[in-house]
Amino acid sequence: MKRTKINILLNADGGTDDVLVKGWVRTKRDAKEFSFMEINDGSCLANIQVIANSNLENYLDIQKITTGTSVSISGSLIASPGKGQKWEIQAKNIDIFSIAPENYPLQKKRHTDEFLRTIAHLRPRTNKYGAAFRIRSEMCYAIHKFYKEKGFRYLTAPLITGSDCEGAGEMFRVTNLDPRQIKKQGKMDFSQDFFGQEANLTVSGQLSAEMFALSLGDVYTFGPTFRAENSNTSRHVAEFWMLEPEMAFCDLNENMDHGEELVKYLTEHATKECEQDLALFSKFVDKALGPRIDAILNQEFARVTYTEAVEILEKAKKKFEFKVGYGTDLQSEHERYLAEDYFKKPVFLIDYPKEIKPFYMRMNDDEKTVAAVDLLVPKIGELIGGSQREERLDVLENRMAQMELSQEDYWWYLDSRKYGTVPHSGFGMGFERFLMLITGISNIRDVIPFPRTPGSIDF
Ligand code: 4AD
Ligand code: MG
């Protein structure tokens, strides 16, 4: 007999005499003549109820079943007289793989997120984390679906690079030099290193994506990204996934149109395909989730300039921890005020002062600001960061010189501005931050399977 997953069984049209499910026991209750068990196999939030009659030949063993025990059950799928479920299984045979001991950490009670982080290898077995990681999986699929429908090509950008796209110097070094040897010599000789020069884990696939957008038209990268930022916040991890669309013949406005369409599409996909799992979050995790999702789906995102945003913040009655003024980088408290309190929906900020943005952003006519765009969302702050790219060779060379970037190192990037350069734009969306937005989970460590943060690389 073939194993059926519980999500399929629970949606069955009619009963049948031979079903086989395999999973883990969530709870068991013993009555006089039989035992009730709730089985979960991870395929969905719901459990299936199993009834084991005392006339089963291994009933003595069945009585030893504990929470967490792994089992294989065959029997009949019958209409359930109980409330809340359509079907249950009358067991004909129960095989036990392994009885979970008394000290199984996930006994039926509420655990804190902090505790569950210390058992990140077991937490996907809980309702909340099972739901979170099913949604994560579904959203990966939705991203590829969206871009397939729009005719974009998927670019797998390299993870080991020789350049620092963001210029923030927050990179993890990649080397195979022997640390003892380095210590003896008192310095690193990069010419002796694996690549013959300095190498890092990528902070962004953008520069690769630009080369491919200028060849294939519209492309996107979606993969792991690494940042050695020493910031222990609820929105930063050292390894995260970034989605980066890059579009040829695209200006800043079209870039924002694209970002808005993307966020709406993914959110709508989640509400359709992850209905049960999302319901858990609006019920138990964040009561304001429903209205927030509605605002994303049904309202046009706001669009203002950085300068306008700074004016709004300066007039705000709210006391901020960090001072704001023209030229300062906005802090998360400012970003959240704008999205949460002022606009009450996602808001695009454009045209940031050039001093606080990377070299590749297109210079505006005022020569003070660049065609940058950030999307700020309630509860999180920055979800998307991007720009129109500087496509004019002379302007780009000037900017690089001002920022003391070596044109030699970026010869290939500059080539793209020499040969058939065109206006183009793109952005990066932090995948984990998007998951926080649609689940209401408030710590980024809880939407990524095994979070990597300063001082922590367990599992
Ligand atoms: O704004 P960022 O730094 O933009 C770039 O890297 C551009 N090169 C992207 C592009 O234009 N193709 O990062 C993009 C997004 C941020 O808005 C944020 O959502 C997320 O990546 N992000 C992080 N997420 C989790 N942990 C971190 N440490 C993050 N740093 C950035
Ligand atoms: Mg940014």
Q: What is the pLDDT along the chain (459 residues), one digit of tens a residue?
A: 899 999 999 999 999 999 999 999 999 999 889 999 999 999 999 999 999 999 999 999 999 999 999 999 999 999 998 888 899 999 999 999 999 999 999 987 889 999 999 999 999 999 999 999 999 999 999 999 999 999 999 999 999 998 887 887 789 999 999 989 888 888 888 999 999 999 999 999 999 999 999 999 999 999 999 999 888 899 999 999 999 999 999 999 999 999 999 999 999 999 999 999 999 999 999 999 999 999 999 999 999 999 999 999 999 999 999 999 999 999 999 999 999 999 999 999 999 999 999 999 999 999 999 999 999 999 999 999 999 999 999 999 999 999 999 999 999 999 999 999 999 999 999 999 999 999 999 999 999 999 999 999 999
Instruction: Say how many Å lie between the CA of residue 186 and the centre of ligand 2.
Output: 36
- My answer on whether 433 and 397 are in the same domain is yes
- My answer on whether 146 and 90 are in the same domain is no
Residue nearest to atom 5 of ligand 1 (CA): 428
Q: Which ligand is nearest to the CA of 435?
A: 1
Nearest atom (ligand 1) to Cα of 237: 26
Establish if 346 belongs to a structural domain.
yes
pLDDT of residue 417: 98
Instruction: Say how many Å lie between the CA of residue 374 and the centre of ligand 2.
Output: 7
Strand 424-430 and strand 381-388: pairing? antiparallel
Establish if 342 belongs to a structural domain.
yes
Q: Is 432 in the pocket of ligand 1 (CB under 6 A)?
A: yes
CATH number of the domain that residue 30 is part of:
2.40.50.140
Amino acid at site 57: E
Nearest atom (ligand 1) to Cα of 383: 19
Residue nearest to atom 14 of ligand 1 (CA): 428
Considering 45, 65, 98, which residue would you say is the last residue of a domain? 98
The answer to whether the beta carbons of residues 132 and 270 sit under 8 Å apart is: no
CB atoms within 10 A of CB 158: 11
Considering 42, 63, 98, which residue would you say is the last residue of a domain? 98
Strand ranges, E, within 135-184: 153-154, 160-161
Q: Is 10 in the pocket of ligand 1 (CB under 6 A)?
A: no
pLDDT of residue 110: 86
Establish if 117 belongs to a structural domain.
no
Q: How many domains does the chain have?
A: 2
Q: Is 204 in the pocket of ligand 1 (CB under 6 A)?
A: yes
For residue 202, give every residue at least 6 positions away whose Cβ sits within 8 Å of its Cβ, in sequence order, or none. Answer: 157, 158, 159, 160, 161, 165, 225, 226
Measured between alpha carbons, how far is 67 from 40 in angstroms, rounded to an integer? 11
- My answer on whether 77 and 220 are in the same domain is no
Instruction: Say how many Å lie between the CA of residue 202 and the centre of ligand 2.
Output: 15
pLDDT of residue 254: 98
The answer to whether the beta carbons of residues 172 and 245 sit under 8 Å apart is: no
Establish if 183 belongs to a structural domain.
no
Instruction: Say how many Å lie between the CA of residue 431 and the centre of ligand 2.
Output: 13
- My answer on whether 207 and 66 are in the same domain is no
Nearest atom (ligand 1) to Cα of 231: 28
Category of 163 on φ-ψ map: left (φ > 0), alpha (ψ -120 to 50) or beta? beta
- My answer on whether 274 and 364 are in the same domain is yes
Nearest atom (ligand 1) to Cα of 205: 12
DSSP lists the bridge partners of residue 353 as 369
Establish if 335 belongs to a structural domain.
yes
Residue 302 structure tokens? 């706001």
pLDDT of residue 164: 81
DSSP lists the bridge partners of residue 218 as 247
Residue carrying structure tokens 């000290």:
103
CATH number of the domain that residue 367 is part of:
3.30.930.10
Measured between alpha carbons, how far is 262 from 273 in angstroms, rounded to an integer? 16
Q: Is 130 in the pocket of ligand 1 (CB under 6 A)?
A: no
- My answer on whether 287 and 356 are in the same domain is yes
Considering 98, 114, 146, which residue would you say is the last residue of a domain? 98
DSSP lists the bridge partners of residue 30 as 35
Measured between alpha carbons, how far is 41 from 46 in angstroms, rounded to an integer? 9
Residue nearest to atom 4 of ligand 1 (CA): 385
Q: Is 385 in the pocket of ligand 1 (CB under 6 A)?
A: yes
Q: Measuring CA to CA, which residue among 368, 323, 345, 315 is closest to residue 437? A: 345
Strand 153-154 and strand 70-79: pairing? unpaired
Establish if 277 belongs to a structural domain.
yes
Residue nearest to atom 29 of ligand 1 (CA): 236
The answer to whether the beta carbons of residues 337 and 322 sit under 8 Å apart is: no
- My answer on whether 223 and 90 are in the same domain is no
Q: Is 88 in the pocket of ligand 1 (CB under 6 A)?
A: no
**What per-residue string of b and e applies to 256-275 under the rule 16 or more CB within 10 Å gives b?**
bebbbebbbbbbebbeeebe
Strand ranges, E, within 389-423: none
Q: Is 426 in the pocket of ligand 1 (CB under 6 A)?
A: yes
**Three-class SS state of 446:** helix
Mutate-to-test residue for ligand 1 from 155, 240, 429, highest number of ligand atoms within 8 A of CB: 240
Instruction: Say how many Å lie between the CA of residue 385 and the centre of ligand 1.
Output: 6
The domain of 138 spans: 123-168+203-446
Residue nearest to atom 6 of ligand 1 (CA): 204
pLDDT of residue 404: 92
Q: Is 165 in the pocket of ligand 1 (CB under 6 A)?
A: yes
pLDDT of residue 37: 96
Establish if 255 belongs to a structural domain.
yes
Instruction: Say how many Å lie between the CA of residue 107 and the centre of ligand 2.
Output: 41
The answer to whether the beta carbons of residues 170 and 200 sit under 8 Å apart is: no
- My answer on whether 34 and 156 are in the same domain is no
Calculate the alpha carbon distances from 212 to 66, 107, 163, 208, 267 in Å: 55, 51, 17, 7, 28
The answer to whether the beta carbons of residues 392 and 423 sit under 8 Å apart is: no
- My answer on whether 229 and 84 are in the same domain is no
- My answer on whether 67 and 147 are in the same domain is no
pLDDT of residue 182: 85
Taking the alpha carbons at both ends of the chain, their separation in whole angstroms is: 36
Mutate-to-test residue for ligand 1 from 349, 433, 444, highest number of ligand atoms within 8 A of CB: 433
Q: Is 240 in the pocket of ligand 1 (CB under 6 A)?
A: yes
Instruction: Say how many Å lie between the CA of residue 386 and the centre of ligand 1.
Output: 8
- My answer on whether 77 and 164 are in the same domain is no
Establish if 57 belongs to a structural domain.
yes
- My answer on whether 16 and 154 are in the same domain is no
CB atoms within 10 A of CB 276: 13
Instruction: Say how many Å lie between the CA of residue 384 and the centre of ligand 1.
Output: 7
Nearest atom (ligand 1) to Cα of 386: 11
pLDDT of residue 85: 85
Q: Which ligand is nearest to the CA of 206?
A: 1
